[in-house]
Structure 1
Amino acid sequence: MTAGITGATHVVDATAVMGLLPGRPRLLALGEPTHGEDVLLELRNDLFRQLVEQEGYRTIAIESDCMMGLVVDEHVTSGTGVLDEVMERGFSHGWGAFAGNRELVRWMRAYNDGRPASEQLHFAGFDGPLEITGAASPRQAITALHAYLTARVDADLLPCTAETLDRLLGADDRWTNPAAMRDPSQSVGQTPEANQLRLLADDLVALLDAQTPHLLAASSPDDWDRARLYGRTATGLLRYHFWMADTSPNRIARLCALRDSMMAANLLALAERGPTLVNAHNSHLQRDKSSMRMGGLPLEWWSAGAIVSAHLGQGYAFLATALGTVRHHGVDAPPPDTVEGLLYALEQQRCLVDARRLAAALADAAPAPRVSPWYGYSPLDPAHLAGNDGIVFVRDARPS
């Protein structure tokens, strides 16, 4: 079995990654089992640089707010803004504070400097404007979509005025109230105003679609892409707020599913634009269902990766990442009968593993699931091995 495992390992580089795949996928996703570890961000940056330079990938998308990501894209393509401000305003979840993300943005800007627009590298966030504690107001997305259409189509085609939107939206803190995540009665998502906004957002997106020939002629490709993003985000947020006000037992599972559905829609739109590299938590990118327990109840939903894979087939590829130790968080050497334990025994600091070949080598071994003592680290699920195109294994994480 050891020989079979060793034979499934490779160095971590672009050539080895492409060797595991039948061709260059439109979306090549690199997962991570925890957020913020320097060694994983450094590995991602090295691998993504190689894939950009050798395989022609032209967008890097990470698990961050899709609207905030526009700030970063403006910076890396045109130099707009100071890097410190871009890192603060262009990332959600605190990701802008990570040194690896700062280095990624700095490198992307340097890569684009002096290149024509057609050869430039773009940045995208593909998460919705969502936090664990709640969701953003739909104001930015729906008003930006309305403004785009107002400037380009006849006024009598618009379903409402900007003043109507402003009245229905009301104060933004009504939408961002963190109490609404745990208490549905605190949500404004099913108020008459919110329901009317959902209808108007739907009408605005329908108008955007109906006017496609005119708008493509009247807009730059980037403006058109942004308008579609505004539409996806406005309708997605209003749908999310609606279900935040739900009182059924399926409420949290539905919210998790809606978030991943928004992620998937953004990824599919990026795939239309060109070959894209993706980085997010393994659970968002895997082909299998995601799951967790909350309040003693099991929750399941289809991940963004599962949705995208269903649409793109071989146009989607997923590399899961696993760590041997995260000792600064109490995650010590993995038990030898787990997948991570078997890889840890190879004593390679990092390696790329052919996941399907590894699954075949372990078919009779039935490795045990690893249990992490720290909630922030998600171990590999042995049952999901064959659903990965590869595994990037890093033996030891180190403190920042």
Structure 2
Amino acid sequence: MATDIKDTVRAVEAAAVMGLLPARPRLLALGEPTHGEDALLDLRNELFRQLVEQEGYRTIAIESDCVAGLIVDDYVTSGTGTLDDVMERGFSHGWGASEANRELVRWMRAFNVRADNERRPVSDRLRFAGFDAPLEITHAASPRQALTALHGHLAARLDADLLPCTADTLDRLLGADDLWTDPAAMRDPSRSTGQSAEAGQLRLLADDLAALLDQHRPHLLAAASRDDWDRARLYGRTATGLLRYHHWMADTSPARMTWLVGLRDQMMAHNLLALTERGPALVHAHNGHLQRARSSMRMGGAPVEWWSAGALVAAQLGPEYAFVATGLGTIEHQGVQAPPPETVEGLLYALPEDRCVIDAPRLAAALGGTRCAARVSPWFGYAPLDPAHVAGYDGIVFIKDVPRR
């Protein structure tokens, strides 16, 4: 069996990843089993750089606020702002403090401005996107930014009589932003404003504004750039998604947490599908958001299951979606020691390579009827590979040891 497993090993490079796939997918996803480790992000940067240069990918999306990500996209495409400001305001989850993310943005900007200071043609420029919703596990953003931006886009291009409300009406119904962002609402539904009368009116208005955007698509596309149209659609998806999310934050039924985690990944999936409309895209996020299998975790001591963004996208794109998971051996500075030999990571840890690309379907076939044990992490921040999911990966990037940075 060891010889068969060795036959699945490839070098960590774009050509090896593409060699696992029948054709270049429209969306190529690279997962990670833990957040905040720059060693993993450095590897992401290396692979994505090769895939951009060798395979023609022109969008890179990461697990960060989709609206804030517009700030980063403006910088990498046109040089708007400064790198320091972009890293501070253009990322959620604290990702802007990562040196590897900073290097990614720096490189993307350099790619779009050639050595002779000549900008690439618009059709060939590299784009950045956040594809996560504007929310954290502890709270969600106010819908104000997305909702008012959507209204403003329509108000500037359509007759006022067509709009279902004025900007002043939206402002009155939205109220103070801290009503929406109270972190106590995640554990106490009574603290959420998501099922108030005002929130109910806002959901109807957001739905009407999004419908208006779609109804007048020919005129709106002619009246503004494609980028403006794409941003308006993003604002519409985000406004309606956030209002739905806040509604379920205020819910008291047993299905509350299942709805919340499912809605987040649904918003992610909608953003990813929109990105693929402008061409092939690369995406990086946690394995659990990108896998084809049903995702699960324990929240508040109870198990919660939902369909991930990757599963939702795969259901629509089919073979045009590819997912490469990342597995690792140790993160000693987090207490994650060498994996037990009977786990998937343990089998890969025994290979001589410090890092490699694994043909996951061939690995599953090599294991045959061998039942691998599920690895148990002593640290909540790391999610081991699920042996039952390996056959559903297109590949695995394995890193033997993750050093402290």
CA deviation map 1:23-51 (0-9, x unaligned):
11110000000011121111000000000
The equivalent residue for 2:59 is 59
The equivalent residue for 2:105 is 105
**Aligned partner of 1:388: which letter?**
Y
Residue among 298, 301, 306 paired with 1:296: 301
**Aligned partner of 2:238: which letter?**
T
Residue among 376, 381, 387 paired with 2:392: 387
The equivalent residue for 1:307 is 312
CA deviation map 1:233-252 (0-9, x unaligned):
00000000000000011111
* Structure 2 CA distance for aligned equivalents of residues 79 and 297 of structure 1: 47
Where 2:131 maps in the other structure, the secondary structure is strand
Q: What is the CA-CA distance between 1:347 and the residue it aligns to?
A: 2.3
Q: Does 1:221 align with 2:226?
A: yes
* Structure 1 CA distance for aligned equivalents of residues 379 and 368 of structure 2: 28
* Structure 2 CA distance for aligned equivalents of residues 38 and 196 of structure 1: 44
Where 1:292 maps in the other structure, the secondary structure is strand
The equivalent residue for 2:20 is 20
* Structure 2 CA distance for aligned equivalents of residues 212 and 38 of structure 1: 42
* Structure 2 CA distance for aligned equivalents of residues 302 and 89 of structure 1: 30
Q: What is the CA-CA distance between 1:295 and the residue it aligns to?
A: 2.7
Contact 1:184 1:247 in 2 (8 A): yes
CA deviation map 1:267-293 (0-9, x unaligned):
000011111000000000000011011
CA deviation map 1:168-220 (0-9, x unaligned):
00000000011100000000000000000000000000000000111111110
**Aligned partner of 1:111: which letter?**
F
Where 2:285 maps in the other structure, the secondary structure is strand
CA deviation map 1:264-319 (0-9, x unaligned):
00000001111100000000000001101123321100000000000000110000
Q: What is the CA-CA distance between 1:374 and the residue it aligns to?
A: 0.6
Contact 1:347 1:395 in 2 (8 A): no
**Aligned partner of 2:43: which letter?**
L
The equivalent residue for 2:196 is 191
* Structure 1 CA distance for aligned equivalents of residues 181 and 38 of structure 2: 31
Contact 1:38 1:398 in 2 (8 A): no
Q: What is the CA-CA distance between 1:140 and the residue it aligns to?
A: 0.3
**Aligned partner of 2:102: which letter?**
R
Contact 1:133 1:181 in 2 (8 A): yes
Q: Does 1:160 align with 2:170?
A: no
Equivalence map 1:232-247=2 (5 Å): 232-247=237-252
* Structure 1 CA distance for aligned equivalents of residues 159 and 375 of structure 2: 60
> Unaligned 5+ residue runs, structure 2?
114-118
The equivalent residue for 1:29 is 29
* Structure 1 CA distance for aligned equivalents of residues 308 and 139 of structure 2: 19
Q: Does 1:45 align with 2:45?
A: yes
The equivalent residue for 1:82 is 82
Where 1:28 maps in the other structure, the secondary structure is strand
The equivalent residue for 1:132 is 137
CA deviation map 1:215-235 (0-9, x unaligned):
111110100000000000000
Equivalence map 1:270-281=2 (5 Å): 270-281=275-286
Contact 1:32 1:282 in 2 (8 A): yes
The equivalent residue for 2:261 is 256
Residue among 370, 378, 388 paired with 1:373: 378
**Aligned partner of 1:226: which letter?**
R
Share of identical aligned residues, percent? 74
Where 1:341 maps in the other structure, the secondary structure is helix
Q: What is the CA-CA distance between 1:364 and the residue it aligns to?
A: 2.0
**Aligned partner of 2:178: which letter?**
D
Contact 1:204 1:231 in 2 (8 A): yes
* Structure 2 CA distance for aligned equivalents of residues 222 and 282 of structure 1: 30
Where 1:270 maps in the other structure, the secondary structure is helix
Contact 1:322 1:393 in 2 (8 A): yes
**Aligned partner of 1:128: which letter?**
A
* Structure 2 CA distance for aligned equivalents of residues 254 and 193 of structure 1: 21
**Aligned partner of 2:234: which letter?**
L
Give TM-score, length-normalised by structure 1: 0.99
Equivalence map 1:88-99=2 (5 Å): 88-99=88-99
* Structure 1 CA distance for aligned equivalents of residues 234 and 251 of structure 2: 26
* Structure 2 CA distance for aligned equivalents of residues 295 and 104 of structure 1: 36
The equivalent residue for 1:350 is 355
The equivalent residue for 1:68 is 68
The equivalent residue for 2:116 is none
* Structure 2 CA distance for aligned equivalents of residues 147 and 256 of structure 1: 30
**Aligned partner of 2:19: which letter?**
G
Where 1:131 maps in the other structure, the secondary structure is coil
**Aligned partner of 2:77: which letter?**
T
> Unaligned 5+ residue runs, structure 1?
none
The CA RMSD over aligned residues, in Å, is 0.6
* Structure 2 CA distance for aligned equivalents of residues 252 and 191 of structure 1: 19
The equivalent residue for 1:176 is 181
**Aligned partner of 2:224: which letter?**
S
Q: Does 1:321 align with 2:321?
A: no
* Structure 2 CA distance for aligned equivalents of residues 177 and 54 of structure 1: 46
Moved over 3 A (4+): none
**Aligned partner of 1:102: which letter?**
R
Q: Does 1:115 align with 2:120?
A: yes
Q: What is the CA-CA distance between 1:363 and the residue it aligns to?
A: 1.8
Give TM-score, length-normalised by structure 2: 0.98
Residue among 326, 329, 335 paired with 1:330: 335
CA deviation map 1:72-125 (0-9, x unaligned):
000000111111110010000000001110000000000001212111000000
* Structure 1 CA distance for aligned equivalents of residues 246 and 322 of structure 2: 32
